[in-house]
Structure 1
Amino acid sequence: MDYKDYYKVLGLEKSATPEQIKKAYRKLARQHHPDVNPNDKGAEQKFKEINEANEVLSDPEKRKKYDQFGADWQRYQQQPGGGAGRGGQPGGGFDWSQYTQGQGGGFGGGGSPFGEGEDFSDFFGSLFGNMGGGGGGRTSRPGAGPDYQAELELSLEEAYQGGPRTITVNGKNLRLTIAPGVADGQTIRLRDQGGPGRNGGPNGALLITFRIRPDARYARTGDDLTQDVPVSIYKALLGGEQTVETLSGSVKIKIKPETANGTRLRLRGKGFPVYKKEGQFGDLYLRLNLTLPQNLTEPEKELIQQLAALRPEA
């Protein structure tokens, strides 16, 4: 019988707190869940090991017994005829009966890690027997269901406005309200919308990651937006007003005379809404790009030549 290091399976130290154990279990269970890794036997086996480790370390009684057993296992390995992986029997008068639960007590009875029970190893069965309750070595201890993951694609305007949306996960339509200002790659967590719990345990969560489609008009940096605004060379030279379309409506801006190409204007509060901070917005930066007239007429060319003659340094 090979010793199983449940702490190593979950990537934890022996001093791990219950909260750290729970967090590590949820992370690894999501990573190796069969729904995420279809037809991957390695991931399926890893998922079973993760569940078994969590079954022991999340239960104070099992964890105490396991920790005590781990210390005695080292003593056993040091004895003649002992040692894991060599098929030896405990020697030197070591009282093994305080741990074993009888012959054939392993949890290898064909259970599934995705149904009501768990398919545990012989190591678990020999150490705990029927401590978990339930026939055939199956545990009746409640356990949280697996988390589900989904993605929801939004346009920039939809992310700006927020509001109700419907998403379908595992054939189930879920209606949610999106707060204005969500970012690309941001993930929200919906409790109880994941996989069903084990033996009456709570359902897992649904993790929804937002994907914001690129917008041809705006570049987003945090809660700020940048927009290119074409301005005629005449208005740039002489100044004037121009109407600009923003996500919150039309705005008139003033262009100063002799405005240079690439000048940036800042419109406070005209950027993206700050997520879950009602009434707060980022800024909108306008980048003024001068446009040259095309298809000049002969009279226009003559006037430009006259202007050029007045400014020979140009």
Structure 2
Amino acid sequence: MAFIDYYKILGISKNASDGDIKKAYRKLARKYHPDLNPNDKVAEKKFKEINEANEVLSNPENRKKYDEYGEHWVHAEDYKKAKQQQKRYARQQTSQGDFGGYSDSDFSDFFSSMFGRGHTKGQRRQGQFRGQDFNAQLELNIKDVYTSHKRTLTVNNKNIRITIPAGVENEQVIKIKGHGGKGINGGPNGDLYIQFSIHNTTPFKRDGHNLYLSVDLDLYKALLGGEITVNTFDGKVKLTVKPETQNGTKVKLKGKGFPKYKKEGQFGDLYVTYTIKTPKNLSAKEKELFTELSKLRAYEN
């Protein structure tokens, strides 16, 4: 495996913060995204390199291994174990009178042969190792996750057809088993972890499977009551406003919220909050009537 400088690919330094990595990745991913560069093989290759670099550096544990072991980071644990075994063997040889010792280059050769770079007769059979896990981020609109739907993702030049369940939340991570890196020497493939970034440009605020909506109510309707039409996430409903409704009054619309994740046919609730708007630009007649009303209320009190 040739060494790939993931820091150079993202254009950041080795002491870059997690925020720096995320910012650099998003900037480059937007620039080289296949949708913005159709039929551009160079951009496609660059996009793959950017995703690979982000998969490693955005994971603190993987980044630590990469910084220490370079191209061997995927097998860091096996590297440690093999090195410990080799050192124990060296100590045993020393205690038995063999003072030849082992250098780092000796161990590098040992490690290379262990992973198939020079397997010769008499050496141990190559071990099986699990493939690398991949991490990807999928950006969606909140409307995209109101219903379950299928989507095709391209990971390492392979198309993967997945079902995105309704009710997926922002920053939620799902695992697609076996769609990570290929296993070594017949070992199992790694897994693909997809993190969702869900953008909400609607007037609804989401909290889990419940939705919240603020609705303007004119003063006359609040005082006298009546009927209004309110938007829900999937249509409109009519609500009856009670007379003398106060500002900040909340109304619950049962089952008009967001789908519950992996619970087919179950929905949260929609909470509507009334915001009473005071009329502006009153006419002379309106001012006269409001004055009479104020006098009447003062007289009654």
Whole-angstrom CA distance in 2 between matches of 1:41 and 1:276: 35
Distance change >3 Å, CA 41–CA 241, structure 1 → 2: closer
Long gaps (5+) in structure 1: 1-31, 77-81, 83-88, 120-128, 134-139
Shift of 1:106: 4.0
Segment of structure 1 superposing worse, 299-308 or 205-214: 299-308
Segment of structure 1 superposing worse, 177-186 or 196-205: 196-205
Whole-angstrom CA distance in 2 between matches of 1:254 and 1:288: 12
Shift of 1:166: 2.8
Contact 1:230 1:288 (C-alpha < 8 Å) held by counterparts: yes
Q: Deviations over 1:104-147 (max 9, x none)?
A: 9744279499xx7379xxxxxxxxx822x2xxxxxx22222111
1:295 alignment partner AA: N
Q: Deviations over 1:246-272 (max 9, x none)?
A: 113211111111010001111111111
What is the aligned residue count? 239
Which of 242, 258, 262 is residue 248 of structure 2 equivalent to?
262
1:36 alignment partner AA: V
Which of 61, 66, 91 is residue 43 of structure 1 equivalent to?
66
Distance change >3 Å, CA 273–CA 41, structure 1 → 2: closer
Shift of 1:173: 3.4
1:90 corresponds in structure 2 to: 94
Distance change >3 Å, CA 196–CA 34, structure 1 → 2: farther
Whole-angstrom CA distance in 2 between matches of 1:55 and 1:154: 39
Establish whether residue 108 from structure 1 lines up as the match of residue 132 from structure 2: no
Which of 255, 264, 268 is residue 282 of structure 1 equivalent to?
268
Given the two structures, how large is their TM-score scaled by the length of structure 1? 0.64
1:253 alignment partner AA: L
Percentage of identical aligned residues: 39
1:53 corresponds in structure 2 to: 77
Compute the RMSD of aligned alpha carbons. 4.0
Shift of 1:285: 0.6
Higher helix share: 2
Larger radius of gyration: 1
Whole-angstrom CA distance in 1 between matches of 2:291 and 2:226: 24
1:90 alignment partner AA: T
Establish whether residue 194 from structure 1 lines up as the match of residue 180 from structure 2: yes
Contact 2:55 2:136 (C-alpha < 8 Å) held by counterparts: no
Whole-angstrom CA distance in 2 between matches of 1:45 and 1:291: 62
Whole-angstrom CA distance in 1 between matches of 2:187 and 2:79: 13
SS in 1 for 2:298: coil
1:54 alignment partner AA: D
